[in-house]
């Protein structure tokens, strides 16, 4: 594979240039892994071409993000960025190449990965009251159930977790982000139905599912799956390349696993998310 050959060549050259002392110095300052990762990414995307229309669209998006209205204002944006056009276009092109490479390598596997991870991608919104006192939890549950009080007001007054600052609302968040016991409650709940207080660890919870949004396989989700697989491939190849720096074995390629840097981060143009 051409990308593998390029990575082998890059690691051989890096090993020759930095030597054992240079490698030790980079490791001491935690710079060796990022350096090798960038070399691996560079080689992975080197042969990917950039669509001129996609480049113009990316330039326009960059301009829009910075408050400009058209490509005619490109020179002004370059001045604001403080970089030459060559550097900026190289960074934009790198992001586009990353995205294109991810799709090229993994689009065919994206739906299968989505199906494996679907439960983790489902989103929920729910109301939550977290209390230490069982009897208070029961009393507040009865007030909400009878219509005497509403969830938001009681959350602001009584909740003992961060939901106190959000009127008791949690989400939208991935379903599996919650405690496993709460996940099971939410999974079988019907929207709008108040759950009787139940205990998780030291807390008594009053919960009402507001919205359950099952994940669907959209273009955005496909890109997310491609990016995850790309990340894993780069991580694997980076680890193998680091091993080669201190040995003589060739880098081994895995078809199952291609990167750990998002296009926006890799381009260098992104701004410094119970």
List domains and CATH numbers for the chain.
2-110+218-267 (no CATH), 123-213 (3.10.50.40)
Token pair listed for 194: 């108040």
Nearest to 151 by CA among 132, 134, 126, 176: 126
CA distances from 119 to 9, 56, 76, 115 (A): 41, 37, 46, 8
Q: Give the model's pLDDT for residue 267.
A: 39
* CA–CA separation, 237 and 258 (whole Å): 8
pTM for this entry? 0.70
Q: Output the six-digit token pair for 97.
A: 């190449």
Q: Helix axis angle, 219-245 relative to 2-28, nearest 10°? A: 60
Phi and psi torsions of 246, nearest 5°: -110, 10
d(CA 213, CA 107): 24
CB 148 within 8 A of CB 139: no
What does the alpha-carbon distance between residue 58 and residue 241 come to, in Å, rounded to a whole number? 32
3-state DSSP call for residue 206? strand
Phi, psi dihedrals of residue 200, rounded to the nearest 5°: -135, 115
The Cα 206–Cα 43 span in angstroms is 53
CB count in 10 Å sphere of residue 80:
12
- Give the Cα separation of 93 and 55 in Å (integer): 7
Note whether 109 and 258 are within 8 A (CB).
no
CB of 251 closer than 8 Å to CB of 244: yes
* Whether 95 contacts 155, CB under 8 Å: no
**Count of C-beta atoms within a 10 Å radius of residue 127:** 26
pLDDT value for 3: 62
Q: Which residues are paired to 127 by β-bridges?
A: 169, 208
Burial 38-50 (b: 16+ CB within 10 A, else e): ebbbebbbeebeb
> In which residue ranges of the chain is pLDDT below 50?
1, 248-273
User: Distance between CA atoms of 188 and 204, rounded to whole angstroms?
Assistant: 19
Beta strands in the chain (DSSP E): 123-131, 169-174, 194-200, 203-213
Q: Can you name the residues that pair with 129 across neighbouring β-strands?
A: 206
């Amino acid at each position: 594979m051409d990308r593998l050959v390029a990575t082998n060549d890059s690691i051989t050259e890096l090993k020759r240039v930095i030597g054992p002392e240079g490698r030790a110095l980079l490791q001491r300052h935690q710079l060796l892994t990022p350096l090798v990762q960038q070399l691996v990414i560079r080689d992975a995307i080197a042969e990917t071409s950039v669509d001129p229309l996609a480049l113009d669209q990316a330039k326009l998006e960059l301009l829009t993000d910075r408050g400009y209205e058209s490509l005619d204002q490109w020179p002004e944006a370059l001045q604001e960025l403080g970089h030459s056009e060559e550097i900026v276009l190289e960074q934009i092109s790198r992001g586009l190449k990353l995205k294109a490479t991810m799709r090229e390598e993994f689009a065919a596997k994206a739906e299968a990965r989505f199906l494996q991870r679907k439960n983790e991608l489902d989103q929920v919104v729910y109301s939550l009251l977290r209390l230490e006192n069982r009897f208070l939890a029961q009393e507040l549950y009865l007030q909400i159930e009878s219509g005497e009080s509403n969830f938001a007001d009681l959350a602001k007054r009584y909740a003992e977790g961060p939901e106190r600052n959000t009127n008791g609302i949690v989400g939208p968040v991935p379903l599996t982000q919650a405690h496993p016991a709460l996940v099971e409650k939410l999974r079988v709940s019907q929207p709008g139905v108040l759950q009787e207080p139940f205990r998780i660890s030291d807390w008594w919870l009053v919960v009402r599912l507001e919205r359950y949004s099952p994940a669907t396989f959209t273009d955005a989700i496909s890109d997310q799956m491609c990016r995850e697989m790309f990340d894993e491939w780069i991580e694997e190849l980076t680890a193998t390349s680091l091993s080669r720096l201190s040995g003589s074995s060739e880098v081994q390629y895995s078809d199952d696993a291609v990167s750990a840097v998002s296009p926006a981060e890799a381009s260098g143009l992104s701004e410094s998310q119970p």
